[in-house]
């Protein structure tokens, strides 16, 4: 990648929690899946999205799960939350998380999120995989190849885990599909989340590809 576009890749700790929350709120506030889950047509939508991202990010760092960031001139412009194979998106099992969601988004939206979360879990392939609960580039920096750099960094990091077969993520935004295919993802499944088609995507680790060719 050209130096013009390259940002610093850094593992993030809880000290970045506030910046990660702000960035991922900006990245997800216009996503179709969140528009359905948190009822974009009803007043208070932005607050519900902000609260959801806050609760997810806070719980991620409370559980000391890994996160990768991109920094440009010390500004966080991209972030990926990572659930290692042994954790597999179990944040919603936390009563702290559930209470935070209930108080901030309401019963109906919390249940919608849990239904969505469980549907994605059911669609995940068997075996050990890293899962990406949230990933995004700040809108001001999209279209500048930072997404490619972030995915390359997280694929390399996840591939260091010999017990993982790859990376799984989901998206309800069809305009991202071509980008993910260019990064080496393949589509595993589609889910109906209300009116949204959620795509489950998989990127194999390098050692898995070598083993298959062997």
1 domain-assigned:
no
Q: Tally the domains of the chain.
A: 1
User: Is residue 97 in some structural domain?
Assistant: yes
pLDDT, tens only, 26-71: 999 999 999 999 999 999 999 999 999 999 999 999 989 999 999 9
Residue 71, strand partner residues: 8, 76
pLDDT tens digit sequence for 74-131: 999 999 999 988 655 566 677 788 888 999 999 999 999 999 998 998 888 888 999 9
For 15, which DSSP code?
G
pLDDT of residue 5: 59
- Structural element, H or E, at residue 70: strand 67-72
Between CA 60 and CA 13 the distance in angstroms is: 10
> What pLDDT, on the 0 to 100 scale, is given for residue 91?
64
Packing angle of the helix pair 45-62, 107-123 (nearest 10 deg) = 50
Q: What's the pLDDT tens digit per position in 200-209?
A: 999 998 654 4
pLDDT score, position 213: 44
Pairing state between β 130-131 and 166-171: parallel
**What pLDDT is attached to residue 90?**
63
Alpha-carbon 159 to chain mean position: 17
DSSP letter (8 states) at residue 73: T
pLDDT for res 1 = 46
Give per-residue pLDDT as tens, 173-211: 999 999 999 999 999 999 999 999 999 999 998 654 444
Sequence-separated (6 or more) residues with CB below 8 Å from residue 48: 38, 39, 104, 105, 106, 109
Q: Is residue 3 part of a domain?
A: no
Residue 74 lies in a domain: yes
Listed residue (167, 142, 122, 118) closest to 70, CA to CA:
142
Q: CATH number for the domain including 143?
A: 3.40.630.30
pTM recorded for the entire structure:
0.90
Residue 213 CB neighbours (<10 A)? 6
Report if residue 2 sits inside a domain: no
pLDDT (0 to 100) of residue 146: 95
Cα 142 to its chain centre, rounded Å, is 16
User: What local confidence, expressed as pLDDT, does residue 47 receive?
Assistant: 96
Range of the domain at 164: 8-213
Across 6-10, average pLDDT: 91
Distance CA 19, CA 80 (A): 12
């Amino acid at each position: 990648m050209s130096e013009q576009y390259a940002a610093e890749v850094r593992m993030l700790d809880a000290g970045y929690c506030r910046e990660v929350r702000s960035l991922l709120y900006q990245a997800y506030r216009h996503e179709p899946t969140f528009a359905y889950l948190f009822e974009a047509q009803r007043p208070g939508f932005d607050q519900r999205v902000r609260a959801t991202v806050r609760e997810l990010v806070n719980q991620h760092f409370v559980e000391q799960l890994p996160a990768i960031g991109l920094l440009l001139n010390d500004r966080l412009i991209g972030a990926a939350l990572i659930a290692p194979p042994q954790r597999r998106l179990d944040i919603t099992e936390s009563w702290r998380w559930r209470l935070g969601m209930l108080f901030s988004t309401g019963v109906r939206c919390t249940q919608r999120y849990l239904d969505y979360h469980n549907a994605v879990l059911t669609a995940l392939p068997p075996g050990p995989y890293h899962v990406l609960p949230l990933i995004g580039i700040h809108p001001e920096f999209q279209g500048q190849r930072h997404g490619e750099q972030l995915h390359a960094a997280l694929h390399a990091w996840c591939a260091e885990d010999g017990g993982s077969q790859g990376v799984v993520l989901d998206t309800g935004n069809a305009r991202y599909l071509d980008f993910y295919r260019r990064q080496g993802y393949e589509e595993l499944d589609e889910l109906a989340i209300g009116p949204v088609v959620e795509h489950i995507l998989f990127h194999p680790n390098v050692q898995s590809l070598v083993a298959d060719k062997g």
